[in-house]
A and B are shown apart, each in its own frame.
Chain A
């Protein structure tokens, strides 16, 4: 407990301190001793003053308050004690249950070096037809989950946790970054009631929290994933909902610090900030980290700088589409835009690859036909186009799926579908085996059972 100086400026999320003791460095944690909790992290220091961000609100903080140093960096639990527990962005337990620390480490860690990064791995099936078919995964992949607001992103994340996680023994980390608290609590209750909670860790810095909390939740969750990978030698799953909020929070902090910003108000060092996170989410010889990162798209603008910066790290992407959601087809995945690096005849096999090509060609023609039909009616189409038209509608319906976590919306029980069944069904639809079956029979089913 060392006195370091006095507060001379205060704004919403940052303060400046005139130093009486220059033995401080970036990352140190400072405090004002008061009834209220005022905690700061140094982000810039010179020989007379230090700039800090505030971990909590600064309202009620007095100019001239004496600041003391309490530690030289945020610390989090680094042991099996994290499993089944819920933390805030600063590594504090928030589930209200007793907790005894076993071993703590600093939150900050190095990125994985080029030498250590491992790229080859086994495929990872999700049981969700449209993903396994169009955008299959491999352990260690980073999958972007893109989608505007309200098209079912979070439901898909929950379904992925449910499916992948319940079929593997690995522990998982869920990071809630700048998303809804209601959903955080719901996810917690869901996991508890499905007996999955004790195999995962949750970290929350939700959208009601200040930007410092929202931006730090990612690194905190990541440190825990690193524990599982490096100490427990696991293939870890990490879900980040939502990585865009991390950049958004950084932009808010940069604005408050009066930094010069790039277009749309993003911080100039955005590429570096994102890299510091993304290059830690990698597989090494200890184990793999497969990540699903929800990416919010501001103003439905895919060309947004922040979205593009994050996207460059992804091995694949799953794009949710409002137009498909409008049709009531969930998961509302746009199959033209969703893909992964595995879609390659050498990696996934000739049959799967060819089927994907055929389906995409068929659906592309369908979109053209829709326009023709709007003018001329179906009867004017050639026999071949009619087949394409009806089969495409069946395919489109077939790629909707009842989801376990969406039972309350759809009233239909969820299903995990084997990729072999998906390939068979798709092949049969394309070949015309089901031409006499009504298209509504393909809506919200698992595999087709005749």
Chain B
């Protein structure tokens, strides 16, 4: 009886011509459904579940198909009909999103309405061919002395910001965004699993500082379906990729990837994937590597710079997810809660922070003075601990000078939030080191 109905329905839909493949829900999980039928479905095809929900094909089995749900308006019942929409699952984006807080389905979240002029965005494109990449050499300035001079970032670089809760990770990203004013950079801030309050604060903060005109905030909250949260950074990067291919320079901040990893773990465990280390699935590395590999300097001139953020616990940057991301990125800015408490802001741990591109992305002057400052500072931090208790008068003059200069260098790195410095200002802070260098007194 029921089967006849479906046959009839199929016939109907076939005649209708745009939707003709139909299945039936046989099992409903919190965010996936198992469907029978749909025998000519394609992988990652978009489906409609009885006008109640929308999803895409996540796995094709012998007798059933698993659908990941991304939008749901009404409870799904076993037996509900599932229509394949004969197209690959895509997300929506509007070019009017600048200065707005949006989701990946074309909604303006602050105005609480859909945009009018939407275009489809693939959730993920093929990896960019190796030879389409160009060297990362152009500077990306954050306005923060400790970064631009010591651990510089280039356009097309992936630089991780990592540290405990309340160490100023998001602040560094916001500083970087604000500093892009008049620098021809499109900024995309991707908020993953942040609270609604936090996102609204960030929105106001950026608007207040005139950064809204070139910034898009893409948000996904924990009260949404995990599949949406999981997809959000990929879609953000697809949007960025299209802009890059149009030769734009794009900055993408992903805040934060640890929460993204946890959402992916949740989805994987729910789909009965065998867990690996710390119960994350074996492909957690790939989930992030394919995402962050979208960051690049394209040969056509466009670029995607990515600043992913990771929150750590008790300053441990050697846990599984952190080391994964560190091994993908082109460097990391490590923030220390100890420095933060001491009032050394930005609370960078200068010993642990790294930029793998280093001087390659700095201009000549910044590179020269920057490497001098970095070396002096690291030597100072090294000897500071050893000689802390020694009497300064008994030290060699060289050591005395090193201790004195080191302290000055460190003090000058302090910088208040939203107080960007120009390169000239940064250079002038440390000219005193060059004087010593040139007159041969060192």
Chain A positions near chain B (C-beta within 8 angstroms):
8-12, 16, 56-64, 86, 94-96, 148-150, 154, 178, 180-182, 184-186, 188-189, 204, 206-211, 248, 251-252, 254-256, 258, 260-261, 264-266, 296-300, 322, 325-328, 370, 373-379, 408-411, 438, 440
CA distance A261 to B282 in the complex (A): 10
Asked if A10 contacts B398 (CB within 8 A), the reply is: no
Asked if A374 contacts B386 (CB within 8 A), the reply is: yes
Asked if B396 contacts A438 (CB within 8 A), the reply is: yes
Q: Which of A86, A96, A252, A258 has the most CB of B within 10 A?
A: A252
Q: Say yes or no for B356: interface residue by CB 8 A criterion.
A: yes
Asked if A328 contacts B43 (CB within 8 A), the reply is: no
A95 to chain B, nearest CB (A): 6
The contact of A180 among B43, B294, B330, by CB within 8 Å, is: B330
CB-CB under 8 A from A60, the residues of chain B are 42-44, 88
Asked if B128 contacts A299 (CB within 8 A), the reply is: no
Known: A8-B62, A10-B60. A57 touches B126 (CB 8 A): yes
CB-CB under 8 A from A149, the residues of chain B are 323-324, 326-327
Q: Which of A58, A204, A328, A438 has the most CB of B within 10 A?
A: A328
Task: Name B361's closest neighbour in chain A (CB-CB).
Answer: A408
Asked if A299 contacts B274 (CB within 8 A), the reply is: no
Asked if B130 contacts A251 (CB within 8 A), the reply is: no
Asked if B43 contacts A61 (CB within 8 A), the reply is: yes
CB-CB under 8 A from A260, the residues of chain B are 274
Known: A60-B44, A299-B277, A411-B367. A208 touches B61 (CB 8 A): no
Asked if B389 contacts A298 (CB within 8 A), the reply is: no
Chain B positions near chain A (C-beta within 8 angstroms):
38-44, 59-62, 88, 124, 126-131, 133-136, 156, 273-277, 281-283, 285-286, 289-290, 293-294, 296, 318-320, 323-324, 326-332, 351-352, 354, 356, 358-360, 367-368, 371, 374-375, 378-379, 382, 385-391, 394, 396, 398
CB-CB under 8 A from A184, the residues of chain B are 130
Q: Which of B41, B283, B386, B396 has the most CB of A within 10 A?
A: B283
6 residue pairs, one from A and one from B, having the closest CB atoms: A265-B276, A208-B293, A328-B378, A149-B326, A208-B127, A149-B327
Asked if B134 contacts A185 (CB within 8 A), the reply is: yes
CA distance A374 to B396 in the complex (A): 19
- Which label, helix, strand, loop or mixed, suits the secondary structure of the A interface? mixed
CB-CB under 8 A from B283, the residues of chain A are 12, 211, 252, 255-256
Given A59-B44, A374-B386, A409-B358, 16 further pairs, Cβ under 8 A: A9-B61, A94-B130, A148-B318, A182-B136, A185-B133, A206-B130, A208-B128, A209-B127, A211-B283, A248-B285, A326-B378, A328-B382, A374-B385, A411-B359, A411-B368, A411-B371
CB-CB under 8 A from A322, the residues of chain B are 352
CB-CB under 8 A from A185, the residues of chain B are 130-131, 133-135
CA distance A150 to B41 in the complex (A): 44
CA distance A10 to B66 in the complex (A): 11
B409 to chain A, nearest CB (A): 13
The contact of B293 among A206, A258, A410, by CB within 8 Å, is: A206
Asked if B133 contacts A181 (CB within 8 A), the reply is: yes
CA distance A60 to B371 in the complex (A): 49
CB-CB under 8 A from B389, the residues of chain A are 374-377
CB-CB under 8 A from A377, the residues of chain B are 389-391
**Can you sample 11 A-B contacts with CB below 8 Å?**
A60-B44, A181-B296, A182-B296, A206-B293, A208-B294, A252-B282, A296-B327, A297-B323, A326-B378, A377-B390, A408-B360
Q: Which of A149, A258, A260, A264 has the most CB of B within 10 A?
A: A149
CB-CB under 8 A from B388, the residues of chain A are 374
A243 to chain B, nearest CB (A): 14
Asked if A408 contacts B359 (CB within 8 A), the reply is: yes
The contact of B386 among A256, A373, A440, by CB within 8 Å, is: A373
Known: A60-B88, A265-B275, A327-B351. A182 touches B319 (CB 8 A): no
Asked if A299 contacts B135 (CB within 8 A), the reply is: no
Task: Name B61's closest neighbour in chain A (CB-CB).
Answer: A9
CB-CB under 8 A from B327, the residues of chain A are 149-150, 296
The contact of A150 among B129, B274, B332, B358, by CB within 8 Å, is: B332
CA distance A410 to B371 in the complex (A): 7
CA distance A149 to B329 in the complex (A): 9
CB-CB under 8 A from A410, the residues of chain B are 371
Q: Which of B60, B88, B378, B388 has the most CB of A within 10 A?
A: B60
The contact of A64 among B39, B281, B326, by CB within 8 Å, is: B39
A119 to chain B, nearest CB (A): 34
Known: A11-B59, A255-B274, A328-B379. A181 touches B126 (CB 8 A): no
The contact of A258 among B274, B387, B396, by CB within 8 Å, is: B274
CB-CB under 8 A from B135, the residues of chain A are 185-186, 189
